Amino acid sequence: MKTELNGLIAPSVTPFNDDYSVNLDRIETLATFFNDNGIDGAFLCGTSGESLALTAEERMSITSRWVEVAPKDFTVLVHVGHNSIVAAKALAAHAQKAGAWGIGAHSPTFIKPKDADGLVDYCAQIAASAPDLPFYYYHIPGLTGNTTNMIEFLEAASGKIPNLCGLKFTSPNMMEYQLCRLFDGGRYDVLFGIDSFLLCSLVLGGKGSIGGGYNYAGPLYNEIIDSFNRGDLDTAREKQLKAMKMYQVMGRSGSPGHTGMKAIMKMLGVDCGPARPPAQPITAEQYNKLEKDLTEIGFFDFAAKKFEPAATSIG
């Protein structure tokens, strides 16, 4: 099985109601918003989607709803990783039954596989539960604590995970990223996962990417890609700097992470509710400061266009 995902895949936030229950009705709005802003697909229930704060049943309901409302030719990639392999396998099987395009899973975060062979054995069981779907290993060592070298993983996976199509590579180790991209003649699709320096992956030949900023600044990142493809590196660098300043503002606002992401989505007309505890709620003061600081760097000039329900439709 060989696939290649190009362009921008948004690791979608998960919308909640004020009581922290999942707001399935808001998913159609998200799908429309992404599609209208040049996003090619969504990665569900990953880090940005607060996956480990969700029950398996909630994650299944989110997958089903996304598949129902996704625009034509929009990629629905589902994160099925879980600290319980039983739950992970059930999530994978459900994603296939629901009609998702593919699945991905990161390492357990509690009891971790001790080496590449152990990680492959863990992933093989999950991937086998959705044998008809592309499987991507989600490498995010900064959060899982699993630092397995991905070249060793790909070598160990040969012949053991028939539907392994690649990696979601969320690590700043660009040498490892490039070696994985070129491994076995470019056999695997390696999706870059740090949008604050997307341009670095493009220089190395990257094509597809999954990054949190695509939730609310897709047009900026598409301009980075377009500028690079035209050979206009000066413009690409200028626009990448805007993304870096955006993250700098979020970090200084006192409301980074899921709380800040959802605050920005609300500013753009897509209210996805609060982040689930233990994430701290944003105060009115923090929200106003974030909006003010984003305005000062021109964020709303390069951000996703604001959602206007009466003027938008899926298609």
First and final C-alpha spacing in the chain: 29
Given a contact cutoff of 8 angstroms between Cβ atoms, the answer to whether 221 and 213 are in contact is: yes
How many residues are listed for the chain in this entry? 315
- Give the DSSP letter of residue 16: B
114 is catalytic: no
Provide DSSP, 114-155: SSHHHHHHHHHHHHTTSTTS-EEEEE-HHHH-----HHHHHH
Given a contact cutoff of 8 angstroms between Cβ atoms, the answer to whether 135 and 168 are in contact is: no
Given a contact cutoff of 8 angstroms between Cβ atoms, the answer to whether 62 and 102 are in contact is: no
Catalytic: which of 89, 122, 168, 216? 168
Give the count of alpha carbons within 13 A of 56, CB side only.
16
Give long-range contacts, CB 8 A cutoff, 24+ apart: 188-192. 188/154, 188/164, 189/3, 189/4, 189/5, 189/136, 189/165, 190/166, 191/5, 191/9, 191/136, 191/166, 191/167
Q: What share of the chain is helix, strand, coil (3-state, %, to 5)?
A: 50, 10, 40
Catalytic: which of 122, 136, 137, 138? 138
| Dihedral in degrees, nearest 10, Cα atoms 174, 179, 185, 191 | -40
166 vs 152: CA distance, rounded Å: 13
Provide DSSP, 205-238: T--EEE-TTHHHHHHHHHHHHHHHHTT-HHHHHH
221 is catalytic: no
Residues tagged active-site:
138, 168
